[in-house]
């Protein structure tokens, strides 16, 4: 009997909190910049550079009267990078890789206003991602052609082929972000936001020997619209 009373009290409390809050739906899109956090000091002729990609996200959220909020939803994030060869005598030239991830995020945060008109929301949360596709492009030197200009190259641009023994397609990590919005109507507000995603899972399977760990570090800038429900 006591446990039932506690449960009913909890439901009434939740109902009271929800009755004095606000539910919203947001869509945002923008560019992302990804860097591989890795160590290839044993390969001085190679260096990783950041790559750009698309970021798109659809979320639903709820904000309590206290300013505390919670949101969740799917996102698409292209985590790209470039492998630059600094030694021009190598037969393999620069390579660019685009990795496509679909993610599900769960965040908590806080919202308030600045200067009475500009609203802000700060988030921290976790995500789970799946690497579902990608593309690689680059070039090989034509070492058999000595005619000027040298070296002439063979280019390639193809779909990424997964290796089940090497590629770790599931990824989890945490992220944080900040959004600024200016309400233009009672029902909707445009906003600009920035988010930082830190992977805690190696992009390669740990049981493969001789592989250098690689972790995605992504910064996304987005423009979106929030609609109250």
Domain count across the chain: 1
Question: In angstroms, rounded to a whole number, what is the distance separating the alpha carbons of residues 226 and 5?
Answer: 38
Q: What is the pLDDT of residues 14-33, one digit of tens each?
A: 554 455 678 989 999 999 99
For residue 152, what pLDDT is reported? 67
For residue 91, what pLDDT is reported? 56
Residue 55 lies in a domain: yes
DSSP 7-75: HHHHHHHHHHHHHTSEEEEEEEEEEEEEEEE---TT-TTEEEEEEEEEEEEEEEEEE-TTSEEEEEEEE
Residue 7 lies in a domain: no
Query: Which residue, 103, 106, 100, 105, is CA-closest to 129?
Result: 103
DSSP 146-213: -SSSSS-EEEEEEEPPP-TTTB--EEEEEEEEEEEE--SSSSEEEEEEEEEEEE-S-SB-TTSTTPPP
| Structure-model confidence comparison of residues 55 and 41, the more confident one | 55
Would the pLDDT of 213 be above 50? yes
Residue 27 lies in a domain: yes
**Any residues with CB less than 8 A from the CB of 142 and at least 6 apart, and which?**
151, 152, 153, 154
Mean of pLDDT values over 160-184: 90
Residue 46 lies in a domain: yes
Q: What percent of the chain has pLDDT over 90?
A: 47
Pairing of strands 215-228, 188-199: antiparallel
Residue 164 lies in a domain: yes
- First and final C-alpha spacing in the chain: 37
With contact defined as beta carbons under 8 Å apart, do 34 and 51 qualify?
yes
| Structure-model confidence comparison of residues 91 and 126, the more confident one | 126
As a whole number, the mean pLDDT across the chain is: 83
For residue 77, what pLDDT is reported? 96
Mean of pLDDT values over 118-123: 91
Residue 47 lies in a domain: yes
Q: What percent of the chain has pLDDT over 70?
A: 78
Q: What is the pLDDT of residues 55-87, one digit of tens each?
A: 999 999 998 988 899 999 999 999 999 888 766
Question: In angstroms, rounded to a whole number, what is the distance separating the alpha carbons of residues 178 and 193?
Answer: 6
For residue 33, what pLDDT is reported? 96
Read off the DSSP letter of residue 91: S
Would the pLDDT of 217 be above 90? yes
Structural domain of 229: 18-68+83-99+133-175+186-229
Any idea which of 2-16, 120-134, 185-199 has the lowest mean pLDDT? 2-16
Residue 198 lies in a domain: yes
For residue 147, what pLDDT is reported? 62
Question: In angstroms, rounded to a whole number, what is the distance separating the alpha carbons of residues 110 and 66?
Answer: 9
């Amino acid at each position: 009997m006591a446990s039932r009373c506690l449960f009913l009290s909890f439901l009434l409390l939740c109902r009271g909190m929800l009755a004095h809050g606000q539910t919203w739906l947001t869509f945002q899109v923008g560019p992302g910049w990804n860097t591989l956090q890795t160590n290839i000091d044993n390969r001085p002729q190679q260096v990783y550079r950041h790559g750009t990609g698309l970021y798109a996200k659809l979320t639903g959220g709820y904000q309590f009267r206290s300013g505390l909020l919670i949101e969740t939803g799917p996102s698409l994030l292209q985590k790209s990078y470039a492998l630059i060869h600094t030694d021009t005598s190598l037969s393999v030239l620069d390579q660019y890789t685009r990795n496509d991830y679909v993610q599900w995020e769960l965040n908590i945060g806080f919202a308030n206003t600045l200067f009475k008109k500009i609203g802000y929301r700060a988030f921290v949360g976790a995500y789970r991602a799946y690497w579902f596709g990608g593309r690689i492009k680059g070039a090989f030197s034509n070492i058999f052609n000595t005619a000027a200009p040298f070296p002439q190259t063979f280019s390639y641009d193809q779909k990424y082929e997964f290796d089940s023994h090497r590629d770790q397609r599931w990824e989890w990590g945490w992220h944080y972000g900040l959004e600024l919005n200016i309400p233009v109507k009672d029902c909707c507000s445009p906003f600009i936001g920035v988010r930082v995603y830190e992977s805690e899972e190696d992009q390669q399977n740990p049981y493969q020997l001789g592989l250098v760990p690689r972790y995605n570090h992504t910064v996304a800038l987005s423009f979106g619209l929030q609609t109250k429900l």
